[in-house]
Structure 1
Amino acid sequence: MSEVSSVSADLFLLDSLHDFQEHSLKLIEQSRRTIAILSHDLDVLLYGAPEFVQAISNFVRSSRHAQVQILVKNTKPLAETGHDLAKLHQRLSSKILLRKLTVEPQNTEMGFMLCDTSALLYKNDDNNYKGFANFNAAVEVTRLRETFDYVWQYGEPEPELQTLHI
């Protein structure tokens, strides 16, 4: 179960899949404009959960300005297994952008979700459910957004995840 940090009432220490699922939904619900996700393989238990995919769908449909950017290091499992978030990307490709990571950030182990300019879900190691959610982390989000934007510019669309519009 997540625990509130003694540092801030907006900071929650997470140590289970359930914690990450719960806080990711809360972060999406409070988002208004942008969500950015950096992940090694877009963990299907977290980012492919039906509740998460539905929350993202609701988010991008909530405003014409709402947009999701997803950077994934290993896109092969997405194409092979039919990840629900990747399928949503195919249906809403102008609102949900997905690219393959081609340039590594300095911290190659981390994974995160940035929501607007101040909320953050962070996994210390993208393969483990240890990290934190911070609902008031403007400084950290700004720093991570710079990292995300840098690697995003070198990211490439994954041809196997693109849909042909005729």
Structure 2
Amino acid sequence: MSQVSSVSDQLILLENCADFQQHALALAKDARRHIAILSTDLDFPLYDQDEFVSALSQLVRGSRFAQIQLLVKNTKPLIERGHKLARLSQRLSSKVLLRKLTLQPENTDMGFMLRDNDGLLFKNDDLVYRGFANYAAAVEVKRLRETFDYLWQYAEPEADLQQLHI
């Protein structure tokens, strides 16, 4: 069960998948312009949920300036099983961008979701549901955004997830 940190009431320690789902959805619903996700395989139990995908869809459809960027280390599960965010990326390809990492971050185990300039969902190890959500994390988001942008610059679109529009 999640608990508010003694350091700040905006910092919430997360200990299981349900905690992460709750805060990922809250961050997505509160987003105004931008969501960026770095994940091993787009974490099916976390990001392949109807309500979460719907919140992201509403974000990009509600503002011409809104954008979602998805950076994935391993796209094989997305191709083999399908993923709601991958399908959203195919339908809204100019607003929901999905790329495969070609460079690895310094901390190869981490996974995170950035909301605008101040919201953060962070997994210390992308394969384990332990980490935190922070709704006022401007400093951390700025640092992680720089890492994300650097990795994004060298990432590549996954050809097997591209859809041919005729």
TM-score range, shorter chain: over 0.9
Runs of 4+ residues deviating >6 angstroms? none
| Distance across 2 between alignment mates of 1:139 and 1:159 | 35
Q: Deviations over 1:61-118 (max 9, x none)?
A: 1111110000000001101111111011100111100000000010000000000001
1:138 and 2:162 matched: no
Q: Could you tell me which amino acid in structure 2 is paired with residue 114 of structure 1?
A: L
Gaps of 5+ in 1: none
1:162 and 2:155 matched: no
Residue 97 (structure 2) aligns with: 97
Residue 84 (structure 2) aligns with: 84
Displacement, 1:14?
0.2
Residue 8 (structure 2) aligns with: 8
Residue 39 (structure 1) aligns with: 39
Displacement, 1:54?
1.0
Residue 112 (structure 2) aligns with: 112
SS in 1 for 2:29: helix
Q: Could you tell me which amino acid in structure 2 is paired with residue 62 of structure 1?
A: G
* TM-score under structure 1 length normalisation: 0.99
Q: Could you tell me which amino acid in structure 2 is paired with residue 157 of structure 1?
A: P
| Distance across 2 between alignment mates of 1:83 and 1:25 | 17
Residue 28 (structure 2) aligns with: 28
Q: Could you tell me which amino acid in structure 2 is paired with residue 92 of structure 1?
A: L
Displacement, 1:53?
1.0
| Distance across 2 between alignment mates of 1:140 and 1:39 | 17
* TM-score under structure 2 length normalisation: 0.99
SS in 1 for 2:36: strand
Q: Percent identity?
A: 66
Q: Could you tell me which amino acid in structure 2 is paired with residue 106 of structure 1?
A: E
Q: Could you tell me which amino acid in structure 2 is paired with residue 49 of structure 1?
A: Q
| Distance across 1 between alignment mates of 2:60 and 2:97 | 11
| Distance across 2 between alignment mates of 1:83 and 1:14 | 24
Residue 68 (structure 2) aligns with: 68
